[in-house]
A = this chain, B = another copy of it.
């Protein structure tokens, strides 16, 4: 078997799910801000688009996807970011963003007998970037985060840069809610050109913002840039597994060659639902307002109790510093303390050592649940 499997950490969300289910089986009522799994309904027009496309006769979907879906995605990039993409050259649909980012390793990483290869992953990040690198036999380089929660590019020595094949970014960021400025993207792509590596930007949270829409890596350039996005957060479509890959023409050409062999084609009835979702912004605006309302509740109670919220400019996460008055002051202990009071949060340590001083709150439960949680926080903090 693949010996890299032994080096993988347990899949965190599986572990968290099991722990929660065990507590709930004991009859404990939990207000769950732990997992970033949107709970609001998928808009009816999207479900209707799926049902309308569910014909008696059907056929194998292609991994290249329906032209009208690629067109809808390119259109969205144009309207949202002012980026012009050719739907036949720069865009592919994906079977959800996890599939897309996991499988990027298969295409971009080589036979390890042909030389050393490394993948740069922020020290606090979604587990799958590193898991994919390890399972495809590449070295994982954890990148320290600077005070703005951005990977510190100065930490990349010439030695590491020489074997770097791929660098992962994720802004707006999970778990910190930090946003990367265009100047940072310019710096990264310049470095990628100088040292011949690709930059993959997971932009799953790009639409969940509060004050101003965050930029995309593709606004800085298409060459060496690969963006992965998804309808999971934007349109509450986690159940549908529908995302996109866009960017560098050569990488996309390689993916168009490799992906038909991989079984990653999305059912066409889902592609039609996805098309409807990318073509509409009204439901996204409405969803942003829902998160803003919940966020305001928490921001207020946390400020009143003198807890510090770091970053958290976008995404549906709040990145809350463990207060000094909590014994031990580790994120695990604070999370455990909150759990005993009925509130599930994610200990920052779950995502890496750098997260030890913070817990992550995912503002996904309905407003009423948020209000109850805020009342609890008001009384116990």
Contacts and interface: CB of A to CB of B under 8 A. Distances in A.
Interface string A258-278: 101111111111100000000
A286 B62 CA distance: 28
A192 to B, nearest CB: 15
A9 B339 CA distance: 55
Nearest to A268: B239
A18 to B, nearest CB: 11
A44 interface: yes
Contacts of A56: 41-42, 44, 47
A143 B371 CA distance: 65
A108 B1 contact: yes
A285 interface: no
B1 A107 contact: yes
Nearest to A64: B14
A24 interface: no
Interface in A228-274: 232, 236-241, 251, 254, 257-258, 260-270
Interface string A15-58: 00100000000000000000001011110100100110010111
Interface stretch (A126-134, A172-180, A354-362): A126-134
Interface in A282-319: none
Given A59-B238, A113-B112, A261 B8 contact: yes
A74 interface: no
Contacts of A40: 57
Contacts of A240: 58, 267
A144 interface: no
Among A14, A61, A238, A261, max chain B CB count under 10 A is at A261
Nearest to A128: B261
Given A5-B254, A112-B113, A258-B135, A96 B263 contact: yes
Q: How many monomers of this protein are in the complex?
A: 2
Contact of A60 (B1, B37, B62, B258): B37
A198 B42 CA distance: 43
Given A11-B261, A56-B47, A3 B239 contact: no
Contacts of A59: 37, 39, 238-239
Contacts of A106: 2, 106, 135
Interface stretch (A77-85, A97-105, A199-207, A341-349): A97-105
Contacts of A98: 261-263
B262 A102 contact: yes
Contacts of A254: 1, 5
A112 B112 contact: yes
17 contacts: A2-B108, A5-B257, A8-B258, A14-B260, A39-B57, A39-B59, A47-B54, A51-B54, A58-B238, A61-B239, A99-B263, A103-B262, A111-B137, A112-B113, A127-B261, A135-B258, A241-B266
Nearest first, the 8 closest Cβ-Cβ pairs linking A and B are A99-B263, A58-B239, A98-B263, A41-B56, A131-B261, A11-B260, A111-B137, A60-B238
